[in-house]
Structure 1
Amino acid sequence: MLYQKEREQLADIVKKMFDRYETNTAGGNVSARVSNEHIIMSPTLMSQKHHCDISPYQVLVVDMDENIVEGDGRITREINMHMACYRHNNNIGAVVHGHSLYSMVFATMGMDMPNLTEATQKFGKIKCLDFAPATSSELAGKVRDYLEKKGHDSVMNTILLNRHGVLVTDKTLEKAYDDLGRLEYNAYIAEKSLVFEKLGIAKLNQKEYDFNLVE
């Protein structure tokens, strides 16, 4: 089996995403660059049909022309969004898209997410893009345009997709999934903080700190 270790890791991560409410039965997809010629990617309907409990062989090996090289399943229509990221920067090694429970609050409201926790300061601004329909070339284009505005050296990106979910990119799948977990915790904290502020319990602390951003 091609890229067995990498496909085992991806299958493990998508199962964790579902179990941890980082995606739901409405969708989500994950990919990783494994060579200059290939990415590996979760198949379509992995959430709805399999609840993200997939075998490594169901993780597809796909070439850069979006053809399946190996694997049991069909390519998700959202591959265009993943490919927009990989074509933006060759150093992007993984793309994680989910419908994360707390981040969806901000995505559904069309709000940029307040970046409050120390663990998420490396993300910078957590932007919510303007709406475009799921799986559409328009949505892939909005992601591509946002990345281009950030600059061609942008590798780590945490983006909210309006009414849809979250998109995270990084150098490796391990790092991208770590980013997703940090983003979700920040979303939970941000939601509670905004409620506390509205109730007059406490105001959001806008003080700037000298955060340690070295991993």
Structure 2
Amino acid sequence: MLYQKERNQLADVVKKMFDRYETNTAGGNVSVRMNEEHIIMTPTLMSQEHHCNLSPYQILVVDMDENIIEGDGRITREINMHMACYKQNEEIGCVLHGHALHSLVFATMGMDMPNLIEATQKLGKIKCLDYAPATSPELADKVKNHLESNDSQTVTNAILLNKHGVVITDKNLTKAYDIMGRLEYNAYIAEKVLLFDQLGISPIDKKEHQFNLEE
């Protein structure tokens, strides 16, 4: 089996995503760049049909022309978004897309997410893109254009997809999934902080802080 260790790891991560409400039966997909020739990627309907309980062989090995080299399943239509990220920045090693429960509050409202907790400060502004239909070339283009923008030249990115979910990029799967966890905690906290602010219980802390951004 090609890339057995990495496919085992990816199958484990997507199961955790489903169990932790970081995606749902409506979809989600994750890919990891192996080298210049191949990525590994979750198959279409991984959530609806399998509840993200995948065997390593269901993790597809796909070439850069989107041909399946190995694996049991079909390619998701959202591969266009993944490939747009990889082609835009050669240092991106993982693209993680999910329908994360708390982050979807802000995505559904079309709101940028307030970046409030220390653990997410390295993300900078957590922007919600303008709406484009799921799996569409327009959505892939919006993600690509955001990555190309002046304020988003880093490998680590967390982007809200309007009415849809989140997409995260990073150097590898471990780092990308770390960002997903941080983002969801920030979203949960931000929901409460905004309510407390609007109810007059306590205003949002707008003081400047010297955060430690080193890993």
Structure 1: runs of 5 or more not aligned? none
User: What is residue 78 of structure 1 aligned with on the other side?
Assistant: 78
For 1:190 and 1:151, how far apart are their aligned partners in 2? 22
User: What is residue 120 of structure 1 aligned with on the other side?
Assistant: 120
For 1:67 and 1:202, how far apart are their aligned partners in 2? 54
Counterparts in 2 of 1:16-165, with a 5 A limit? Answer: 16-150=16-150, 153-165=153-165
For 1:162 and 1:6, how far apart are their aligned partners in 2? 31
1:96-137 CA distance string (max 9 Å, x none): 000000000000000000000000000000000000000000
1:3 positional shift = 0.2
SS of the residue corresponding to residue 147 of structure 1 reads: helix
For 2:19 and 2:95, how far apart are their aligned partners in 1? 19
Are the counterparts in 2 of residues 31 and 41 from structure 1 also a CA contact under 8 Å? yes
1:4 positional shift = 0.2
Are the counterparts in 2 of residues 112 and 160 from structure 1 also a CA contact under 8 Å? yes
User: What is residue 182 of structure 1 aligned with on the other side?
Assistant: 182
1:152 positional shift = 8.0
- Counterpart of 1:117, as a letter, is I
For 1:146 and 1:73, how far apart are their aligned partners in 2? 30
1:138-183 CA distance string (max 9 Å, x none): 0000001111114784210000000000000000100000000000
SS of the residue corresponding to residue 62 of structure 1 reads: strand
1:185 positional shift = 0.1
SS of the residue corresponding to residue 11 of structure 1 reads: helix
Aligned residue pairs total 215
Structure 2: runs of 5 or more not aligned? none
CA RMSD of aligned residues (A): 0.9
For 2:208 and 2:165, how far apart are their aligned partners in 1? 29
SS of the residue corresponding to residue 149 of structure 2 reads: helix
For 2:3 and 2:132, how far apart are their aligned partners in 1? 34
1:84 positional shift = 0.5
1:35 positional shift = 1.0
User: What is residue 207 of structure 2 aligned with on the other side?
Assistant: 207
- Counterpart of 2:66, as a letter, is E
Identity %, equivalent residues: 74
Are the counterparts in 1 of residues 97 and 168 from structure 2 also a CA contact under 8 Å? yes
For 1:154 and 1:197, how far apart are their aligned partners in 2? 32
Are the counterparts in 2 of residues 88 and 152 from structure 1 also a CA contact under 8 Å? no
For 2:172 and 2:6, how far apart are their aligned partners in 1? 11
User: What is residue 198 of structure 2 aligned with on the other side?
Assistant: 198
For 1:151 and 1:57, how far apart are their aligned partners in 2? 38
Are the counterparts in 1 of residues 146 and 152 from structure 2 also a CA contact under 8 Å? no
Are the counterparts in 2 of residues 89 and 152 from structure 1 also a CA contact under 8 Å? no
1:11 positional shift = 0.2
- Counterpart of 1:65, as a letter, is D
